[in-house]
Structure 1
Amino acid sequence: MRIARLTGAGTAAWLVPVALTVLAGLLRFVGLWHPHQLVFDETYYVKDAWTLLHLGYEGTWPEDANEPFVAGDTDVYGTDPAYVVHPPLGKWLIAIGMLLFGADSGFGWRFSAALFGTLLVPLVYAIARKLSGSIAVGAVAGGLLAIDGLAIALSRVSLLDGFLTFFVTLAFWFLLKDRDRTGPAILRAGGEATGPVLWSRPWVIAAGASLGAATAVKWSGLYALAGVGVLLVVLDAIARRRAGIAAPFSAAILRQAPVAFLQLVPVAALVYLVSWTGWLVTPGGYDRASDPNPLIALWNYHSSMYGFHVGLTSAHPYASPAWQWPLLLRPTAMWLARPDAGTEWCGWSDDCIAVIGSHPNPVTWYGAWAAVILLVVLLARGRGGPLRLGFALTLSGLVITYVPWLLYPTRTIFQFYTVTMLPFLVIAVALALAWLTRPRDPVILPGATHGEIQYAERYAATQTRAWRLFATVFLAVAVLAGIFFLPLSTGFLTPYGFWWMHMWLPGWV
């Protein structure tokens, strides 16, 4: 399996991402209306989205509103404001799906989640290809994401984390575009003592807008905003050092960083504020009347939301602290249905079960963390060749999306939050395989005889073939595992015994 090959353009350059997008779309859109129930936290976000669409703010619902809503009686909400603790953009996106396709089917209220989940696949393909220069590496990353159960589940259920993942990943893509544009500009000014101050950086502004949108979906987007800001400074310093500029890090911090802040943060803040337009222009939102100045009232509301998030320690059977996530100890069961034995037939059994859970492809998942360890070791040893910067950027994305959660060991959080990490994990797998399958140069010592040279050449070729065989087998097993675990993310009936075959760890039950 020559992962590092297929670097050229031509038919593959457009056919591969199109094929990956079609595959992702099929796995996310087919049967999207099933189950015809409000699944897990859809009970909050879908109904909030519906009242946003009609009131401009989240309204209240009766305790037993789910059943009439699913039955088509969607106007049982009240005009009193509901206390919600997440910003409104993700719910506005859900509302767009219902505006287009109605609220009488899960297809309408899940359309936007499926769309953003589908578009995430070609985006990850593009990032992996840019980091490696290889269509094949991009195809591996995009393909593993397309068939991953966690990514599929978060695309087939209207939660907020799929939108958050897309906007954070999009910001990372914009960051790479900025690096392509500003690196040569700094290099052209290589003779200067401190280098230029770059004001024209449209991709940084785009990244700020994307991160503002991420924060307007969930506040954890703020972590990504801060991390991308730091990464901008580091990349700028590296570019200045390559250009031969004296004291590149101090120049990047003292001269360019303040400008980068102005290019990144204000547009993020503006996008975030615009997402609250419905609450600002209508009088009925929660805490809207706490002050005559709507911005002060919004600040009061945010203070209350912050207090809720900080103090969220209530017990939950599927809670999973962040230290558990790499081990995959407690995936989240979002929906489960088990008809009475004998009432429905599925396959070879009349004892059936249907589930939607946040189980990633375990072969990809555990392989990705092995790849992360490999990339860390390679960077620490100064190895990686042309892939080295790709290693560093991928690990940076993983740090930004994972490490902040380790700061909250007692807060109630869930394993499905890892969907935001998933793009960087599959890219890590693809880059690691690209490095392992690279053509190896024979190690020939000075004064080696002709026979020793031939042996070294055969040994290097054998190593390359062995790693390519390993990559082929790994990817084949990952694809088979993705197919095997697909029922756990779609909610379709399977025999109970077949479902039990997927319960590899006690915490998965």
Structure 2
Amino acid sequence: MVSVGDRPARAGAVPVGRRPATSAPGPTLGVRFPVERPMPTDRLRSWLLAILLAFIGGILRFYRLGFPSDHGTPVFDEKHYVPQAWQMLRNFGVEDNPGFELVVHPPLAKQLIALGEWVWGYDSMGWRVSAAVAGTVCVLLVVRIARRLTRSTMFGVVAGALFLCDGVSFVQSRMGMLDIFLTVFVLASFGAMVLDRDDVRARMAVVVAEGRVGVSPFGPRLGVRWWRFTAGVLIGMACAVKWSGVYWVAAFGVLSLGWDVAARRAAGVRRPWLGVWVRDVGPALWALAAIPILTYLAGWWAWFASETGVDRHEVGQEIGVGGPFSFMPDALRSLWYYSGHVLSFHANLTTSTSAPHPWESKPWAWPMSLRPMLYYLNNSDQTCGAKDCVSATMLVGTPALWWASPLALVWAVWRTVTRFDWRHVAIMVGYGAGYLPWFLDIDRQMYYFYATPMAPFLIFGLTLMLGDVLGPALAGTERRATGLLIISLYVGLAVANFAWLWPIMVGDSITSAHWDAEMWLPSWR
């Protein structure tokens, strides 16, 4: 088994981050593009393992999926999105009830919820089935992306097993809310970005092998990059779920250009930074800015096609027919007006000093799950076999995973500084895009479920750290055996921790004493 961190090179390879000296323009002879460790050859087995883990994840997510409900009605924020999705289903994909002026997120996730309601009906199973499917897809994506990051099928499986044990993504996969849909599109976009990086380096290796890298001081044109285009479409779909998807638009754009600089430097391009400005910035803006915008607008297809959508025909009413933007289509001007209402809502959604929400949490509490989210609580359930019973559903991060996040972050910074490991950089970018922007407006009302898209990147960071624990393939037998033991113990700890928290994540009836034992921190109450 080849471990994480191995970097076998062949004779004549150029170290990553360095470029060979070239005395004159023209072909760079005798230079080889740095060889990264190839993907494992067990393609079929790796897919079977990934599908198996996704299947297990699906079983867990669909277990008693229709429970709990509030006497047959949605719980917590499901009360916003579930009826809006039902109206979309009955009204050709659009919300037009004036009573739903509080429509504060784009339509895509609610349309996906509506698909489940179409299949199963307007009940708790119907409005959660799409979220459960999205959460199951996330398991598959985590396994495949981790395998590509580590070049190891074993660590792809390790990442999948850890993700199965993550309480945040698990519970959100069982709720008719939006954040699991945001997560699946962000995660898929990140996977496409990693594939684009590998594709670019493969193309650059061909150019170097053919001696054409020195023809221009800017390096070669790289042609159409379909994986980056795919990443743009997927991140645009994330924005069509929630506006917070725009954080990853910016983050992935910078990450892509950074990878392009690294690839051109490694290939020996004489002006790599300028080469990126000349060759890559324009196509990157198209793929990771214009395409997401167009995809986002496409998410409003039903609203554009409607005659009765909320604020659909405001030009000539609340919006004047003239003005500097009169050249724009009326539909786009109306959407801009509508979006202004949404922005106003979010800007004024601040923490109340007189009556704060009892389960609100600020971002500094998220990395270690210091303030979970209680979705459902029933103290009158008497099915636990004791006098006092509790049935609850709580969004809580598995401590074995989330309490290790500071260590994973410090390790990622250390590996970045000492080894210039691009994988840790990518994971910190993805994690940071879901975390740091929330500090810009700390007075805003926030909840722990906002951290859902951070979960896959936490798992990737933990997986890479475990790979370094295992050590390189050339390490001694004793070192490898010790590393495998530590990894096995940690995965077992995560599974045991998840199993312990299971009753309070799925609403099982437990005794009051058991409930008290589940509350590990005072802030969990």
TM-score range, shorter chain: 0.7 to 0.9
Structure 1 runs not aligned, ≥5 long = 61-78, 443-459
SS of residue paired to 2:523: helix
The one-letter code of the counterpart of 1:12 is R
The answer to whether the 8 A contact 1:240-1:248 is kept is yes
Matched, 1:409 2:442: yes
Paired residues of 2:161 and 2:491 also in contact (CA < 8 A): no
Return the offset for 1:30: 1.7
Counterpart check, 1:190 vs 2:228: no
For the residues of structure 1 that align with 2:472 and 2:299, how far apart are their CA atoms? 50
Moved more, 85-94 or 472-481: 472-481
Superposition deviation, residue 486 in structure 1: 1.4
Contact 2:186–2:234 (CA<8 Å) still a contact in 1? yes
Q: 1:316 to 1:2 in 2, by over 3 A?
A: farther
Deviation at residue 496 of structure 1 after TM alignment: 2.0
**Where does residue 109 of structure 1 map in the other structure?**
127
Q: 1:140-219 residue pairs with structure 2 within 5 A? A: 140-187=158-205, 188=207, 189-191=212-214, 192-219=216-243
Which position in structure 1 is the counterpart of 2:368?
A: 327
Alignment counterpart, residue 488 of structure 1, candidates 504, 512, 525: 504
Distance 1:16 1:256 in 2: 37
Deviations along 1:338-394, one digit per CA (max 9) or x if unpaired, are 216xxx221x524211212210111011223312211211221227xxxx2322222
Q: 1:440 to 1:136 in 2, by over 3 A?
A: closer
> Mean alpha-carbon deviation: is it higher for 498-507 or for 374-383?
374-383
- Are residue 84 (structure 1) and residue 83 (structure 2) matched? no
**TM-score when normalising by structure 2:** 0.84
User: Which moves more between the two structures, 472-481 or 462-471?
Assistant: 462-471
Q: Which residue is equivalent to 1:429?
A: 462
Q: Output one character per residue of 1:441-495: Cα deviation in whole Å (capped at 9) or x when no partner.
A: 68xxxxxxxxxxxxxxxxx655444433322222211110011111222122222
Confirm or deny that 1:382 pairs with 2:400. Answer: no
Residue aligning to 1:469: 485
Alignment RMSD (CA, Å): 2.2
Determine helix, strand or coil for the equivalent of 2:104: coil
Aligned position for 2:65: 32
**Aligned partner of 2:67: which letter?**
H
Query: TM-score, normalised on structure 1?
Result: 0.87
CA distance in 1, matches of 2:148, 2:279: 28
Query: Residues 343-422 of structure 1 correspond to what in structure 2 (within 5 A)?
Result: 344-346=382-384, 348-382=385-419, 388-422=421-455
Code of the aligned partner of 1:474: Y
Question: 2:383 & 2:99 partners in 1: Cα distance?
Answer: 45
Displacement of 1:15 after TM fit? Answer: 2.6
State the distance in 2 between where 1:466 and 1:19 align: 27
Matched to 2:378, the amino acid is: A
Amino acid at match of 2:367: P
Give the secondary-structure state (helix, strand or coil) at the position aligned to 2:377.
Answer: strand
Tell me which residue corresponds to 2:114: 95
How many residue pairs end up in the alignment?
Answer: 465
Distance 1:438 1:140 in 2: 15
SS at match of 1:33: coil
- Paired residue secondary structure (2:126): helix
What is the distance in 1 between the residues matched to 2:50 and 2:166?
17
1:26-58 alpha-carbon deviations (Å, 9 max, x no partner) = 110121111243111110100000111222432
- For 2:103 and 2:95, locate their aligned partners in 1 and report how far apart those are by CA, in whole Å: 8
- Gap regions ≥5 residues in structure 2: 7-38, 317-329
Q: Match of 1:160, as an amino acid? A: L
Task: Show the counterpart of 2:308.
Answer: 284
Cα shift readout 1:302-337 (whole Å, capped 9, x = no counterpart): 112112212210332211111221232211111111
Deviant stretches of 4+, over 6 Å: none
Q: Choose 324-333 or 153-162, whichever is displaced more.
A: 324-333
Deviates more, 1:325-334 or 1:461-470: 461-470
Instruction: Give 2:279's aligned residue.
Output: 255
1:434-445 correspondence runs (5 A): 434-439=467-472
User: Given residue 269 of structure 2, which amino acid in structure 1 is its aligned partner?
Assistant: I
Residue equivalent to 2:521: 505
Report SS of the residue matched to 1:381. Answer: helix
**Aligned sequence identity (%):** 34
Offset at residue 190 of structure 1 (A): 2.2
The AA in structure 2 aligned to 1:93 is L
1:100-151 Cα offsets, whole Å, 9 max, x none, are: 1111x31111110000000100101111000011111111111111122111
